[in-house]
Structure 1
Amino acid sequence: MFEEMRERRAARRLKPGDGHPLLRFRWWQLFGRSLFYLRLAGGGGHTVYAVDVRHNRTDADGYTNADLYVDGRHHTRSRLPAAFPVPGGKIEVKQSAFGLKRCHYVTPDGLEQCLEPDRSSAEGRRAHLDRAHPALSRGISVVSTVVLLVSLAVLVLQLLEKLTQPAPIAAQIGTFVSPVDLPVWLNITLAVAAGVASTERALRLRFSWLLDGGAG
């Protein structure tokens, strides 16, 4: 029942497109635009679906939208999160605070396929790095995860210290003193590093509510 309600809400967000052509990706759109492709066979040929998300643009109500293009022509628009019906399934698009956390083709039996990012986009450049230099790519991925784990650990310790400071709580369980006491500049540096790490993970469409959800 929950899945049916979610699908109905997604369907209500769909608006018909106006047929305008898909614009090519430009270098200055590197961190403000995501562009992904899906190529599906059918009818003796192939149809190319493109999902275009402009992160720095919102509609009149403040929502970010995703646009679906079919063979280079604007077909449908939806507020995020979006679910675009396509032959054999749907394309699901979801946003995080650092980019996209999902852009997948999903079939009714639950099979999922991540769409292919445009080679010129930030996601496409990250995917190219992964193919061309897999060892370096894995190293960057590990560093991103470690930075987020350290940031989370420091945040939890600092929260525990603040939560146990009020007198009624301290009288009951005592006051917790964090073993980590960072200066302001280092706290700011760690927050910035966590944001960069989550952005790197978003370029790979990796998302964890625990790590990336609290990085901002």
Structure 2
Amino acid sequence: MSSWNDRRLARRVKPGDGRPLRPFRWWHLLTRSVLSISLPSAGRVVVHSVEVMHGGDLNTGEVMARLYRDGRLDAESRVPARFPVEGGVIEVRTSEAGMRRCAFVADDGSEHQLVPDPASAEGRRIRFAREHPGASRLIGAVSILVLLIGVGVNLLQVAEPISQIPPIADTIGTFESPVNLPLWLNISLGVAAAVGATERALRMRYHWLLDSGAGT
């Protein structure tokens, strides 16, 4: 299965046209991620940069990952992407909230996460964590708490109509949810969960239960 998936991802990779990597600007904060790693190649060090435009291609809507070598476009692929490089591969995955994974996996199995551009949202989040570690941990804990509350409330509210389906009701009975939130509170919880998921994406944290909303 792993080999089949590797071949599938390899077929997605298309050669780049050599165009230069654009500088990161402040208006890219919500739509673009750029991460880099320096790797030895042919006796020298080459900077490998991955660019992801989260809004998707204007024509197809597909989210693309682009690999630049020393600032020139070398290859591109739909996400999830797996770019072969000297000594291993660079794996890229995204979720609805942003980056899910961007790491160099060496041939020996060791992994090294790519470093975000300092001007990017991910880079600014890392700098905040370095300068304010206590506040950073608190924000991370609040993000998890908000997502847990959202998951719990959604499960309770979804369970009630599902339990009323006749075959299920006849087998195990019906379930009456103890939680029946007004629309405005449901919307507020949804917004809070989106913010929490985005905060975790900036640190490339991912858990299938908390962050699984249409991840790729």
Q: Taking structure 2 as the reference length, what is the TM-score of the superposition?
A: 0.93
2:6 equivalent in structure 1:
7
* Separation in 1, partners of 2:214, 2:148: 10
Q: Taking structure 1 as the reference length, what is the TM-score of the superposition?
A: 0.93
Conserved 8 A contact 2:105-2:111? yes
The C-alpha deviation readout for 1:82-108, integer Å capped at 9, x for no partner, is 111111111000111111101000012
1:169 equivalent in structure 2:
168
Q: Using the TM superposition, give the Cα deviation of residue 32 of structure 1 relative to its aligned residue in structure 2, in angstroms.
A: 0.2
1:201 equivalent in structure 2:
200
2:39 equivalent in structure 1:
40
Give the residue type in structure 2 aligned to 1:64: V
* Separation in 1, partners of 2:98, 2:84: 22
CA 1:174/1:57 → structure 2, altered by over 3 Å: closer, same or farther? closer
The C-alpha deviation readout for 1:95-127, integer Å capped at 9, x for no partner, is 111111010000123211110000000011111
* Separation in 2, partners of 1:138, 1:215: 26
- Of residues 34-43 and 117-126 in structure 1, the stretch that sits farther from structure 2 once superposed is 34-43
User: What SS class does the counterpart of residue 46 from structure 2 fall into?
Assistant: strand
Q: Quote the sequence identity (%).
A: 52
1:140 equivalent in structure 2:
139
Give the residue type in structure 2 aligned to 1:75: D
* Separation in 1, partners of 2:16, 2:168: 57
1:122 equivalent in structure 2:
121
CA 1:80/1:214 → structure 2, altered by over 3 Å: closer, same or farther? closer
1:158 equivalent in structure 2:
157
- Of residues 138-147 and 54-63 in structure 1, the stretch that sits farther from structure 2 once superposed is 54-63
* Separation in 1, partners of 2:169, 2:82: 49
Structure 1 unaligned spans of 5+: none
Aligned-residue RMSD, C-alpha: 1.7
- Of residues 39-48 and 145-154 in structure 1, the stretch that sits farther from structure 2 once superposed is 39-48
Q: Using the TM superposition, give the Cα deviation of residue 168 of structure 1 relative to its aligned residue in structure 2, in angstroms.
A: 4.6
Aligned length: 215
* 1:97-116 paired onto structure 2 within 5 Å: 97-116=96-115
User: What SS class does the counterpart of residue 197 from structure 1 fall into?
Assistant: helix
* Separation in 1, partners of 2:163, 2:50: 48
Q: Does 1:212 align with 2:211?
A: yes
User: What SS class does the counterpart of residue 25 from structure 1 fall into?
Assistant: coil
User: What SS class does the counterpart of residue 61 from structure 2 fall into?
Assistant: coil
1:87 equivalent in structure 2:
86
Dislocated runs of 4+, deviation >6 Å: none
Structure 2 unaligned spans of 5+: none
